[in-house]
Amino acid sequence: MTVTSADGNSSQAPCFHCGLPVMTGSAYAAVIDGHERPMCCAGCQAVATTIVD
């Protein structure tokens, strides 16, 4: 599913941690239960990784 935000940027999936749109080409992700999950920012990536660890 592709979502287009109000500023015209497209995203492929919501952030696994907070649900905000993840912009196409985002470098943020976390491996959770053996699957790479998209994250919208370094903060969500850090928190999600901390919760899992």
Question: pLDDT at position 38, please?
Answer: 96
pLDDT of the chain along its 53 residues, tens only?
444 555 565 667 899 999 999 999 999 999 999 999 999 999 999 999 999 88
Q: Among all chains, which residue has been given the structure tokens 């999600």? A: 48
Question: pLDDT at position 1, please?
Answer: 45
Question: pLDDT at position 50, please?
Answer: 95
By 3-state DSSP, what share of the chain in percent is helix, strand and coil, each rounded to 5? 20, 35, 45
